[in-house]
């Protein structure tokens, strides 16, 4: 899935430059696929190496060692760019000791909408905060066989958000309760059994129908509800098909570049 991940990363990058495709934000669609991939990969990692409660701390250590050095590099680089090249901008105003300190644990960046920290220093890092929340939860869901319950609860939150009863952007895209089921679609795709096959197929079909209902005006279009449903409808079959391909060194290289 390396080439696919690189394509997704490019879509995220151009979306942060203000580029849209047919009126849709390509970065949001790409992020949804990243969530599905994350669910798939983390399930593989846990089932192969960390499938007992006494090993959970090793899984967390693995994630920190994998992600934190890169995050720290980009965060420090961003701070330097803002300080030296962007004086007098909103980004420079956000470069305070408090915002830096609260951003360094990563998780608070996923809760910027509550004023815990600000996204201006490293805008895309909110999704890394979301990922970290997923990492904290997923070992328990797999080992204690709670994925089905978590999936159902998350779908309920997402539907309420997508229909506008609660903030669509926050609860239907950015916070774990509303998107956990997307991660879990990827989780079910790993060693997919009959139940998982039904869940992911139904999720992709319903998402496609919701997308059509949104673009046709039957369901009001709200912040990113069209992009998230499109991302699910496209991402689930894409990850399913790509997961069947054999390992290739070039694909791994493209994934590392992503």
Reported as type and span, the H/E element at residue 177 is: helix 176-189
Residue 229 DSSP SS3: helix
The answer to whether 17 and 7 are in contact (CB under 8 A) is: no
Q: How far apart are CA 223 and CA 214, in angstroms?
A: 11
Q: How far apart are CA 168 and CA 178, in angstroms?
A: 9
Q: How many CA atoms lie within 13 A of 221 on its CB side?
A: 12
Alpha-carbon 201 to chain mean position: 20
Helical axes 147-162 vs 176-189, angle rounded to 10°: 130
Does the pLDDT at position 143 exceed 90? Answer: yes
pLDDT of residue 109: 94
**Which pLDDT band, with edges at 50, 70 and 90, does 181 fall under?**
very high
Q: Which long-range contacts (CB under 8 A, 24 or more apart) does 191-198 make?
A: 191/47, 192/240, 195/148
Q: Is 101 exposed, middle or buried (0-12, 13-18, 19+ CB in 10 A)?
A: exposed
Structure tokens at 150: 């978590």
pLDDT of residue 249: 87
pLDDT of residue 257: 87
Q: How far apart are CA 118 and CA 110, in angstroms?
A: 10
Alpha-carbon 89 to chain mean position: 28
pLDDT of residue 180: 98
Q: How far apart are CA 77 and CA 184, in angstroms?
A: 33
Any idea which residue has 């360094």 for tokens? 104
The answer to whether 171 and 161 are in contact (CB under 8 A) is: yes
**Which pLDDT band, with edges at 50, 70 and 90, does 1 fall under?**
confident
Q: How far apart are CA 213 and CA 188, in angstroms?
A: 26
Tens of pLDDT, residue by residue over 34-77, are 999 999 999 999 999 999 999 999 999 999 999 999 999 999 99
């Amino acid at each position: 899935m390396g080439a696919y991940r690189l394509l997704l990363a490019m879509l995220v990058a151009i979306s942060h430059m203000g580029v849209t495709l047919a009126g849709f934000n390509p970065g949001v669609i790409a992020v949804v696929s990243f969530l599905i991939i994350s669910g798939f990969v983390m399930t593989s990692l846990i089932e192969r190496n960390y499938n007992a409660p006494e090993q959970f701390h090793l899984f967390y250590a693995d994630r920190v060692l994998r992600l934190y050095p890169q995050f720290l590099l980009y965060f420090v680089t961003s701070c330097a760019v803002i300080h030296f090249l962007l004086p007098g901008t909103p980004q420079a105003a956000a470069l305070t000791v408090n915002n830096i300190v609260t951003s360094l644990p990563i998780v608070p960046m996923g809760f910027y909408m509550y004023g815990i920290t600000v996204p201006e220093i490293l805008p895309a890092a909110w999704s890394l905060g979301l990922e970290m929340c997923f990492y904290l939860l997923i070992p328990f869901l797999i080992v204690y066989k709670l994925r089905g319950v978590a999936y159902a609860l998350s779908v309920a939150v997402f539907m309420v958000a997508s229909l506008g009863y609660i903030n669509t952007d926050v609860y239907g895209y950015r916070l774990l309760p509303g998107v956990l089921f997307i991660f879990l679609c990827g989780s079910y795709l790993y060693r997919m059994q009959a139940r998982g096959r039904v869940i992911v197929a139904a999720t992709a079909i319903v998402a496609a129908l919701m997308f059509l209902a949104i673009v046709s005006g039957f369901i009001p279009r709200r912040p990113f509800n069209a992009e998230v449903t499109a991302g699910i409808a496209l991402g689930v079959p894409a990850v399913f098909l790509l997961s069947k391909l054999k390992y290739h060194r070039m694909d791994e290289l493209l994934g590392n570049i992503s």
